[in-house]
Structure 1
Amino acid sequence: MTTTAEPTGAEQTGAEQTSAPGPQQVLERVFGYPAFRGEQQAIIEHVVAGGDALVLMPTGGGKSLCYQIPALVREGVGVVISPLIALMKDQVDALEAVGVRAAFLNSTQTPDERRAVEQALRAGEVDLLYLAPERVTVPATQELLASIRIALFAIDEAHCVSQWGHDFRPDYLALSVLHERWPSIPRIALTATATAATAQEIVQRLDLGQARRFVASFDRPNIQYRIEPKNQPVQQLLQLIRTEHPGDAGIVYCLSRASVEKTAAELQAQGIPALPYHAGLDAAVRADHQSRFLREDGIVMVATIAFGMGIDKPDVRFVAHLDLPKSVEGYYQETGRAGRDGLPSTAWLAYGLQDVVQQRQLIDKSEGDAAHKRRMSQLLDAMLALCETVECRRAQLLAYFGQELPGGRCGNCDTCLNPPESWDGTVPAQKLLSTIVRLDRERRQRYGAGQLIDILLGKRTPRVEQLGHADLATFGIGTELSDVEWRGVVRQLLAQGLLAVHGDGYGTLVLTEASGTVLRGERTVALRREVVRASRSGRSRSAAASDLPPAAAPLFERLRAWRAATARALGAPAYVVFADATLRGIALTEPSTLDELSQVSGVGAAKLERFGDAVLAIVRGEEPPAPSESTPFDEPALAVEPPVDDVPPDDIPPAE
């Protein structure tokens, strides 16, 4: 039941807020940006006017400003539904650093801490409040919200309500209560990952039928997408880090917890500052590793998909996948965590035959019904098509989300930079398929790729001799290709649906209905010839500084060193002080006065006052003053504790 409250602090100042600054003024003075990007202005003006909105915008596209600025312009508190409580403090710190009064309520706080936030809310002393979806559905929270003036509701990571996301956060499905209880309050749902079908599901589940849709381009031109054959993947990853991203922050995704632990240990043994992260680790360990990743420069996080959602770290220079993602949506979301600051970054994936077999087996073993398995197979097929394409990867990625790339080629993905050959693989395909037919008909036997390739190459291994496979008519007829090339043939036939993995759990290969058209010569098989990509080498500076003029690079590195020391002193992530893009702007322009410094993108009024003198001293080559101790974000990070009230833990990682 909605309650009627006495005028709160927020309501009492409503008359004063009629002359409050508009969106453009807030953008410039608070956040330090000279102009809006893309559709930001249209979205903000629509929400400020009281309209509901569904915003589909890529990671790094500036989604947060789309609800932060309306919350500062409209009367009342902006209530943000955010999925991970482990990140709420950093989100609040970043806002307080620019002078915004922000707070959160979650299960890591003591009763006294929560009461203090509630009192500040009722007194009109909070502009933005962060809540987890689990807390929104609690009656006590709804009564608290009913007692204050609300400016808007922002539902971040809104794809969690869809069929592919709600297993992660089921309480997202209950957020339709916002419209039922507060029908006049504007709502803005935001996500960086949504096809047209997912967007429609968000609309239905959140009751956003009247919401205006804003769909930004999903293109991230600063990210270089690269997919290469898997061959000693950890060594390939080490080469990527050492030759292209020395000293850079990065995320490495693995499919299993065991591979996360093993990969992190191997990187550490090679001198790479790597940390593991997965749902099986103790909560305190996960929190510590996440904190180090956010606050220290150059940390490489090796993780399952339990890590990354809501991470605002703008200077992640690479995202690497050592296992095949299950869908293009998942791949796009995960790679989107690189280069949020718009600077050059890398999305790298090592992909092999075993990945395809493993993913097919996972689908076969899943507990879903036939329709679910068919849907999962369709998602995997789209991911395989992206991996195997000979066309521009960025164009194919955008096409998946219903968008076109002007010109059809981006010039900044591996297939554009090193175009692969397409070759006629019909005869090799017939040889492989014929071997499977003969084993099935003559021996009633099924085998995996390794045994089939040994037969085609004419290898007299003990197993081949023992099973009598040297007597097959196809024995030794495939010597025109190498073992690696044959594995590529098998992988691509699986991707094209001309082969299938049997459901026996052993990874054995069987024919499909389409196989017959190849065997009968009714269909040609075009295959991709892998290109060995020469890595960029000789980098000694961070990727963020690599394309700066030589004269500006030393100043950039001095600024980074000062930022790291300042962030440590303040107990905050480095990007809360200044992002790399802002440091680059300072290094390029070398401002000599506070007024000149204020013109650099990302330097707002609060940061200018707090850090301006130190930055100017560094530009002049002098020793900067020590960080001020009077900081709005110097309180120690909250420890990870069990919930202290009747609210369930709201930092639940997704199932793996």
Structure 2
Amino acid sequence: MSSELSARALHLLQTVFGYPAFRGQQADIVEHVGSGGDALVLMPTGGGKSLCYQIPALLRDGVGVVVSPLIALMQDQVDALAEVGVRAAFLNSTQTFEESMRIERLVRTGEIDLVYVAPERLLTPRCLELFEASRIALFAIDEAHCVSQWGHDFRPEYIRLSILHERFPDVPRIALTATADQQTRAEIAMRLQLEDARQFVSSFDRPNIRYLVVEKTNGRKQLIDFITSEHAGDCGIVYCLSRKKVEETAEFLCEHGIRALPYHAGMEHPVRAANQARFLREENIVMVATIAFGMGIDKPDVRFVAHLDLPKSIEGYYQETGRAGRDGLPATAWMAYGLQDVVLQRRMIDESEADENFKRVLSTKLDAMLGLCETLHCRRTRLLSYFGETSGPCGNCDTCLLPPVSFDGTVPVQKLLSTIYRVDQRFAAGHVIDVLRGVEGERIKQWHHDSLSVFGIGADRSEQEWRAILRQAIALGLVTVDHEQFSSLKLTEAARPVLKGGQKVQLRQYQKPVKQKKPSSTRSGFAEIELSSAEQALFDKLRWWRVETARAHNVPAYVVFQDATLREIAKARPASLDDLRFVSGVGEKKLASYGDEIIALIADFA
């Protein structure tokens, strides 16, 4: 970074945003874009992506334009910037004509630092003409993975954003995302005409997140046990596949004393917006949602993300779990996963109206997700390798903490495949497992399956064990489910060499669900500040002060100060404004707004 630009950027970071130093590649990105270069930035959620365009926008002459699909969150983003003294606004469909006109005037006259705009709004002739008549510092294209047709969150209007290169050739552009494999990365560069842009790819590792996948027996009961034993009173997100399941799960959690709210696209907009606002502004709320919820959520203190249904892809899983622990403190990504999840996701692909090529892409992504669930090795290593990153075992996922036992599963798989074949590949999982275990039910006798040679050859294993073996056989592509014939199990071509004894199969040993230990507070890569009892009491008092202050300012509590900053204040007990200035997260505007109150509160506490 040139010395003058470097000094200005660091000064902005410290005085406006209150951070002592840039992290990772932030300094290089700020220097490159601040000097007028184009960039494609891949950085994990919580890695500080927003600073990579906010600081260059402040360094350069003109207004920084942030293209974002997140209309519902623009107000909070603007409020958070106002708290640190940055002049920001947005242009979207929620505003009156008069309000839009006022913001447009500020853009034209350069009396604003940043303006957020949805892609649909940006592409209108009126908006393009506004920006052509104004001095623009840069264009930041947030959530850039939305441009990918192969991705998990495709937005058609994003494809047309290549117009920025054509209409504004001299304005630097920075595209940012937390989720993109090599194929998606190439597609972003091609569609946004950023082939010549410098790429900054940070590590995808989130070392503070502990990954846990449990065998699904009774999903909701397991979820309650997980929350009450490991995250009682914490803020979290629970993802479900269907709207009905979202509402039922939220109701179930409320009945068990957990403050839960539902969120899905089928709800009335005012109710949905109110629930989102409560989640952002109140503490200790669990949001139960479909994947319609979450992109762009900046809430730093989400302590867990739970999945009651299998995500469609690793990209989706990574994006969703990344909403936990944005403050760098310990968090958990928990998932309950079973045979039905595999069957359901395969059926959704088979029944979709997509062309065969797209179905193949979806199947490949699902296979990778199944591989992550079934892996015998470190989950983090598997997750990172999907994004092209190598790493050793993390010591902080369930497979590292409680290594699964693998065994030669060739014989049990052969028994399973033989049974599917002997019942003419016409029956679903429950029936096949009953035949294997020798269960003499009415339906078994009706079809005379109790007289088959395979009847009872798997009596030595429980139903749960056979379901685990079947699930792995489906994940390995040996068995498929025919949804047009009552979910009957069928053998694939890949099953032939296994049946004939020419190919061995390694399986994960079924283990009865056990309660996981609560995450320890420290691990290499991050540390939660340990507080003494007196410091904890001061921290609690600061949090109550923050709740009242946030309510008075009508902003989410974390916009005032994050937990990590309050912990540091409780530990340091600054006695003056100069002492407080050195706490990470306290910029000059926040020092001026809240410094005297905090110093008085600490003195009163002492």
**Shorter-chain TM-score tier:** over 0.9
How far apart, in 2, do the equivalents of 1:533 and 1:597 lie? 45
Between the aligned partners of 1:505 and 1:350, the Cα distance in structure 2 is 27
The SS at the match of 2:558 is helix
Question: Which runs of structure 2 are paired with 1:106-505 in the superposition (5 Å)?
Answer: 106-165=92-151, 168-405=154-391, 408-440=392-424, 446-504=426-484
Structure-2 change in CA distance of 1:112 and 1:20 (3 Å): farther
Alpha-carbon distance in structure 2 between the residues aligned to 1:192 and 1:60: 9
- Pick from 490, 502, 512 the counterpart of residue 522 of structure 1: 502
Partners of 2:443 and 2:320 in 1: how far apart? 42
Q: Compared with structure 1, are the counterparts of its residues 153 and 166 closer, same or farther at alpha carbon in structure 2 (3 Å cutoff)?
A: farther
Secondary structure, counterpart of 2:138 in structure 1: strand
> In structure 2, what is the Cα distance between the partners aligned to 1:71 and 1:281?
37
Separation in 2, partners of 1:259, 1:505:
25
Corresponding residue for residue 535 of structure 2: 552
Q: Distance in 1 between matches of 2:6 and 2:436?
A: 76
Partner-residue secondary structure (3-state), 2:72: helix
The 3 A distance-change label for structure 1 pair 124 and 537 is closer
**Quick check: 1:509 aligned with 2:489?**
yes
The code of the aligned residue for 1:418 comes to L
- Amino acid corresponding to residue 587 of structure 2 in structure 1: G
Deviation of 1:538 (Å): 12
Q: What is the identity, as a one-letter code, of the residue corresponding to 2:515?
A: A
Is the Cα–Cα contact under 8 Å of residues 6 and 31 in structure 2 kept in the other structure? no
Q: Contact conserved, 1:166 with 1:172, CA < 8 A, in 2? A: no
State the alpha-carbon separation in 2 of the partners of residues 169 and 208 from structure 1.
18
SS of the aligned residue for 2:297 comes to coil
Q: Quote the Cα distance in structure 1 between the aligned partners of 2:533 and 2:470.
A: 48
Moved more, 545-554 or 514-523: 545-554
CA contact (8 A) 1:77 1:127 kept: yes
> Which of 575, 580, 584 is matched with 2:563 structurally?
580
CA contact (8 A) 1:254 1:260 kept: yes
Conserved 8 A contact 2:152-2:315: no
Structure 1 portions without partners, runs of 5+: 1-17, 624-656
Aligned to 1:95: 81
Give 1:591's aligned residue.
Answer: 574
Greater share of helix: 2
RMSD over aligned Cα atoms: 1.8
Kept in 2, the 8 Å contact 1:243–1:538? The answer is: no
Q: 1:330-389 CA deviation, whole Å, 9 max, x = no partner?
A: 100110011111110000111000000001111110111211111111000000000000
Cα separation, 1, equivalents of 2:331 and 2:363: 30
Equivalent residue letter for 2:507: L
Taking the aligned partners of 1:491 and 1:22, their CA distance within structure 2 comes to 57
CA–CA separation in structure 2 for the residues paired with 1:355 and 1:240: 20
Name the residue aligned to 1:642: none
Q: Would the aligned equivalents of 2:151 and 2:184 in 1 still touch at CA under 8 Å?
A: no
How much identity, in percent, do the aligned residues show? 62
- Residues 274-301 of structure 1: CA distance to partner in whole angstroms, max 9, x if unpaired? 1111110011111101000000001111
Structure 1 length normalisation: TM-score? 0.89
State whether structure 2 residue 80 is matched by structure 1 residue 66: no
Pick one of 587, 592, 601 that aligns with 1:609: 592
Secondary structure of 1:562's counterpart equals helix
Q: Matched residue of 1:552: which SS?
A: helix
Change (3 A) 1:481 1:274: same
Post-superposition offset of 1:477: 1.3
Q: Deviations over 1:113-156 (max 9, x none)?
A: 11111122223210000000000100000111111110000000
Q: Conserved in 1, the CA contact under 8 Å of 2:147 and 2:154?
A: no
Could you list the per-position Cα deviations for residues 144-171 of structure 1 after superposition, in whole angstroms to 9, with x for gaps in the alignment?
Answer: 1111110000000000000134874211
1:423 counterpart SS class = strand
**TM-score normalised by L of structure 2:** 0.96
